[in-house]
Amino acid sequence: MRLDLVEKWGLEMKVRQGASAVEGPSALVLGIETSCDETAAAVVRDGKEILSNVIASQVDLHRIYGGVVPEIASRKHIELIMPVIDLALKEAGASPGDLDAIAVTYGPGLVGALLVGLSAAKAMALALGCPLVGVNHIEGHIYANFLEYPEVDPPLVCLTVSGGHTDLLYIDEYGRYDILGRTRDDAAGEAFDKIARVLGMDYPGGPEIARAAEAGDPTAIDFPRGLLQADTFDFSFSGLKTAAINYIHNLRQRGEEVPVADIAASLQEAIVDVLIAKTLAAAQAYGVKTIFLSGGVAANERLRSRLRELAAADGIRVYYPSKVLCTDNAAMIACAGYYRYLRGERASWELNAVPNLRLGEG
Amino acid sequence: MRILAIDTATTTGSVALTDGEQVVGEYLLNIRATHSERLIPALLRLLEDGEWSGDDIEGIAVATGPGSFTGLRIGVATAKALAYAWQKPLVGITVLEGLAFQVGFAAQWVCSMVDARHGEVYGRLYRTEGLPEAAGDYWAGPVEEFLQQVLETAAGPVCFCGDGAAAYWDAVQEAAGKRAVKPVGNSMQLRASSIALLGRERFLAGERDDPLTLAPMYLRLSEAERKLKTRCSAGCS
Ligand SMILES: [Zn+2]
């Protein structure tokens, strides 16, 4: 079914082994996610069993622009939304009538992009007569961990890092979030992307920097570590961004060779240092023994391994989702939506996209 | 045939239910609130007042554009998902054809125009004999140029309709003079019932669109694509 689209847009399918057709009394939630440049739909049973997880990435489409172009993203979402939903249902072996709830991302994100998924979700819920649940995208990223490790319970500290956000949270029970800190300027992933661009790397820059860093010396350049010593859980990456860009420009002006690998390794180290220090400090301050890592930058190996290593010394366990669940996906939205559904939360038909939605609001 | 129709192309948004050639119900709002907030509540209210359930609907028609890019996507996404979940046939009708249909009785030549802002319109010229028939290509660009083209093609009076005609009526009058026919105000705004009735014609002719792939008709590239194109034609590679 629709193999042309699978090939054309690189639809990625991830079906967990052991997932069987729909049977037995359980809640099936369809998740829909269109907040940025991924059109995604997933069917998840009881908030933990992924029956399907379809992600159509537009990353190639935006590469020539060096970043996500909102109007182009929205146009692609409207083309892909129904094929992606259809594929998610078929992969799950479910028909629309089997669904118990529709969960959809309504913010934060690009407003035009969010509206495509939100409109489709509302219409599906209306037509099927099943509840509509609005989900915060960041909350979705957090639930990617609960999805993968259903046995882990709060209290915990969660660091969500991606191209759009850097949020440090304390979660003392399901559905309750205390925002301890967030970035005061650029998101961590944004800093990666922008510096990668100056280095002439492809968009998105994070994975490119990580690849280049493997051959570099992380101590080669002493880039600034914003707010590292400050008594706050907030982050700041604009100083680092400016320092790195100036460093590269100066070398170029003098006609000297740009040591890409060393810059990448040192830059990654500076970002990872700050992320880890703040996260560990938060875990200590709140006396928790569990740390969640989520969001696109949670796929960064250096961040994963160093945080795990340092945390282990304090007897703290670190969890992060598998890579497909680190990127924007709808399984995490279905999972977060399932818990809201269990709590009896229902979205109004007037639900609108909220581009700057914050956790704990609405 | 019982049809549900949706239009969210401009700030005017409407939903309608038609049965055969009759309008059962229609709900139109021209306010600032976003279509995202008002479309489903309007639809629910109309279904309830018309005492229709999903089972009563035999087809869905949606205005595909041109118009506000975001507005179009709200309507098209909603129509596609309804058609998919209800398993009903779907058809897309252009805003320009819908507008021409509304004044079919008034003039033989109808020029539909949607405001594209900054002195530009989306438009098309139609000949109407009951149903509109296209008499030119789709247009997206400066209103004056379009008017000139339209007046050269059409013979005699031309009825100008749509929010583009309303916004640039001075330009219309200047270009067309006495040949300009202005419809009454409520014919200037698209109504979903027109989309429904045109949809019915399409369904009866055995036509339908794919609820998985139906896309809005923008008639214009995104800003970023246009800039890239200009840069490239100015000599990048
Ligand atoms: Zn994300």
Nearest to A71 among B79, B211, B224 (CB): B224
Q: Count CB neighbours of B119 within 10 A.
A: 13
Rounded distance between C-alpha atoms, residue A66 and residue A59, angstroms: 10
Q: Which residues on B lie below 8 Å from A79 (Cβ)? A: 213, 215
Q: Do A39 and A56 touch, CB atoms closer than 8 A?
A: yes
Rounded distance between C-alpha atoms, residue B42 and residue B27, angstroms: 7
Q: What local confidence, expressed as pLDDT, does residue B236 receive? A: 56
Rounded distance between C-alpha atoms, residue A284 and residue A294, angstroms: 19
| Beta-bridge partners for B91 | B61
Cα of B39 to nearest chain A Cα, Å: 8
Q: Cβ contact (<8 Å) for A119 and B81? A: yes
Q: Which amino acid is at A304?
A: R
Element of type H or E holding A227: none
Which has the minimum average pLDDT: A117-121, A186-190, A249-253, B53-57? A186-190
Give the CB-side neighbour count of residue A90, counting CA atoms within 13 A: 10
B215 and A CB contact within 8 Å: yes
Over its C-alpha atoms, chain A yields an Rg (Å, rounded) of 20
Confidence of residue A361 (pLDDT cuts 50, 70, 90): low
Across residues B173-200, what is the average pLDDT?
A: 96
- To the question of pTM greater than 0.80 for the whole model, the response is yes
Statement: residue A7 has pLDDT above 50: no
Which has the minimum average pLDDT: A25-29, A101-105, B144-148, B199-203? A25-29
Which CATH architecture group holds A156-287? 2-Layer Sandwich (3.30)
Statement: residue B237 has pLDDT above 70: no
Q: What local confidence, expressed as pLDDT, does residue A64 receive? A: 85
Nearest chain A residue (CA) to B76: A78
Q: Which residues on B lie below 8 Å from A86 (Cβ)? A: 84, 212
Contacts 24+ apart (CB under 8 A), A323-327: A323/A299, A324/A12, A324/A14, A324/A53, A324/A55, A325/A144, A325/A147, A325/A148, A326/A144, A326/A294, A326/A295, A326/A296, A326/A298, A326/A299, A327/A38, A327/A55, A327/A57, A327/A296, A327/A299
Q: Where do the domains of chain B lie, and which CATH numbers do they carry? A: 2-95+189-228 (3.30.420.40), 96-181 (3.30.420.40)
B217 and A CB contact within 8 Å: no
ipTM: 0.96
Across residues A307-325, what is the average pLDDT?
A: 95
A118 and B CB contact within 8 Å: yes
Q: Cβ contact (<8 Å) for B70 and A352? A: no
Interface test with B, best of A30, A81, A82, A98 (most B CBs within 10 A): A82
Residue of B82 and B129 predicted with greater confidence: B82
A156 and B CB contact within 8 Å: no
Look over chain B and give the mean of its residue pLDDT values, rounded to a whole number: 95
Confidence of residue B104 (pLDDT cuts 50, 70, 90): confident
Element of type H or E holding A269: helix A260-285
Q: What percent of chain A has pLDDT over 90?
A: 80
Q: Cβ contact (<8 Å) for B73 and A83? A: no
Confidence of residue A165 (pLDDT cuts 50, 70, 90): confident
Statement: residue A127 has pLDDT above 80: yes
Q: Cβ contact (<8 Å) for A115 and B73? A: yes
Residue span(s) of chain A under CATH 3.30.420.40 come to: 2-146+326-342, 156-287
Q: What local confidence, expressed as pLDDT, does residue A362 receive? A: 55
Which CATH architecture group holds A2-146+326-342? 2-Layer Sandwich (3.30)
Confidence of residue A282 (pLDDT cuts 50, 70, 90): very high
